[in-house]
Structures are given as C-alpha cells and as structure tokens.
Amino acid sequence: MNQDMAGLKERIHATDREVFFSVLSHIGDKWSLVLLGMLSKEPMRYTQLAERIPKISRRMLTVTLRQLERDGLVERIVHADTPPWFEYDLTELGRTLIVPVRALADWTLDNIDLIIEKRAQYDQENPGS
Amino acid sequence: MNQDMAGLKERIHATDREVFFSVLSHIGDKWSLVLLGMLSKEPMRYTQLAERIPKISRRMLTVTLRQLERDGLVERIVHADTPPWFEYDLTELGRTLIVPVRALADWTLDNIDLIIEKRAQYDQENPGS
DNA sequence: CAGTATCCTGGACGATACTG
DNA sequence: CAGTATCGTCCAGGATACTG
C-alpha cells in the first residue's frame, strides 16, 4: 500500500467518523427523536406535528425535518391535489432506525428510576458540585 | 383517582421525560460515547484516556467522566496503594447500556454509505440551503 | 397552510494556567 | 499524576415577524 492510499484511507475514516457522530448527534438532539417517534405511528402534516409536539418552535420543526430529510430518514410527500398538500413520513431507512432507537429508549425507561436514584446519591455524596 | 394523584402522575411523567432526554442527550453529546466505548474494552486511568482520545480537552474529559459517574454508568475506583492511583471502569449498569448503544452504532456503520449518498443527493437537489 | 428570515441568548466546548 | 478554575467562543435553539 503506497502513501497515497494510506492517506486516502485516513481521510475516509476521518470522514466516516465525522458522519458517524453527525448521525448520532441527530439522535441526541432535542427534537429528532420526538419527530421520529411521532412519524413512526403515522404520516403527518407540518401543522399536525406542530400541534402535537408541545413547545417546538416553527423554526426547529422546519430545521429538524430538513435534517432528517437530508439524511434520508424522512420524506416529504407532495400530494398533487388542488390545493396541493404535504405529508411527512418515515422512509424505509427511517423505519429501520426506529428499531435500535426503540431499544435505546426502552433501556432508558427501564433504568430511569435507578438513574434518578444514582443521581440523588451522587449529589448527596458530592455536595459542592 | 383524585386530583392530587392525577397531578402527581403528571409531575412524575414530566420528570421522567426530562430525565429521559437528559440521559439520551448524554448519548448524543460529543464525548460520552467515546468514553463509554473506550471503557468497554478495559478499565483505564485518567491520563490513559486523555492520551488515547485525540483532541479531548482535560476539561471535557473531567466533565464527561463526572456526568457518567453521576448517572451510575462509570465508577472511579481508588486503589489504596502508596501512592494511591485511580481507575475508571464501567459499572454493571454501564455495561448494560453498551448493548443498545452498540446496536445503534452498528446501525450507523451499516448505513453510513447510504446516508452520505443521500446527503450528497439532497444537497444537489437543494442548492440554496 | 406551510413554511422562511432575522435577531438574540444560554450553554456546550476549548485553551490555558494553576494545584495537592 | 489527576485533576480544578477561569475565560472566551461559537452555535443550537427560541421569539418573533413576515410570505407565497
């Protein structure tokens, strides 16, 4: 393997690492998970999402939808009626993501009481933090 | 069920929701996953972690370790030799979290090429974004 | 209805210097 | 060695107003 190939490999791995974290960071961000969860039940319109998700700002609804769309997890379906209307739905890829996400959510729910307890315990043992 | 109980339940759920997201947000933050991954192989000392994780600042190493410790996912083991020394290791709870996290990481790795492709495609179709 | 544009704030994170 | 303390920056996200 020559220098160039080694260099190339480095760069590919660096990029993968970035994308890897950029995808995972969507999972961790404030709204993606909520949207994914909502859309896993049924396709919904922009305004429906805005109504059912308390406290989300229009800006973040748009931004988050666009990110999810860009990653191919959600699609914007245009219905060509008159007047036209729009729906958001999970893609096939989005649907496969729901599986590990659900597993993580289940883990969190299963352990939430324990974590609350651990937190309280830690805070008690470490007052000045 | 009387008013008070309904109110209590509301509040519990609200708290759960907060904790739920605060735990998930650890998963999404910049360093927790890396630390969890590192420690899933073997217990390590502070300086070892700092050396093996490129680019992490001492501050974020400390902050992230403390958060993980607070949630009961990582423990700081004090070895009472002279001089004493310290190790960080996953707790039992931390080890159980590795399972769904690994599943999510696997999903990301499995689909990373597709996502890169989708991203490029989206960017091409939507120039002004 | 389904968004976009603009402005603003708080907090995550990094750099750096210091300490028992 | 294993951190803590302080300061500064940047950007995610909210509030609000506007548009085809």
* pLDDT tens-digit series, residues B18-38: 777 777 777 778 899 889 999
Reported as type and span, the H/E element at residue A76 is strand A74-79
Residue B54 in any domain: the answer is: yes
Residue in B112, B114, B121, B123 to test binding to A, most A beta-carbons within 10 Å: B112
Residue B108 in any domain: the answer is: no
Residue A110 in any domain: the answer is: no
B69: how many CB neighbours lie within 10 A of its CB?
Answer: 18
* Any B CB within 8 A of A103 CB: yes
Task: Write out chain A residues lying below 8 Å of B104, CB-based.
Answer: 24, 27, 100-101, 103-104
| d(C-alpha A7, C-alpha A13), whole Å | 10
| Domain total in chain A | 1
pLDDT band at B128 (very low <50, low <70, confident <90, very high): low
Residue B29 in any domain: the answer is: yes
pTM across the whole model: 0.84
Task: Write out chain B residues lying below 8 Å of A106, CB-based.
Answer: 100
Residue B121 in any domain: the answer is: no
Q: Residue B1 has what pLDDT? A: 42
Residue B127 in any domain: the answer is: no
The one-digit pLDDT tens for each residue of chain A (129 residues) are 433 444 444 445 556 667 777 777 777 788 998 899 899 999 999 999 999 998 899 999 999 999 999 999 999 999 999 899 999 999 999 999 999 988 988 898 899 889 989 999 999 998 766
Nucleotide nearest to B86 (CA to C1'): D2
CATH classification of the domain holding A7: 1.10.10.10
Q: CA distances (Å), A96 to each of A54, A70, A93, B11, B82, in order?
A: 26, 16, 5, 33, 53
Residue A72 in any domain: the answer is: yes
Q: Residue A5 has what pLDDT? A: 44
| Structural domain for A8, as ranges | 2-96
Q: Residue A4 has what pLDDT? A: 43
Residue A29 in any domain: the answer is: yes
Protein-to-nucleotide distance from the CA of A50 to the C1' of C20, whole angstroms = 54
Report H helices in chain B.
3-28, 32-41, 46-52, 58-70, 92-125
Contact B77, B87 (CB under 8 A): yes
| d(C-alpha A66, C-alpha A29), whole Å | 14
Which residues have CB under 7 A from strand C? Answer: A 45-48, 58-59, 62, 66, 76, 85-86; B 29-31, 55-60
Partner-chain contact A28 B29, CB within 8 Å: yes
Is pLDDT at B73 greater than 90 in this prediction? yes
A9: how many CB neighbours lie within 10 A of its CB?
Answer: 11
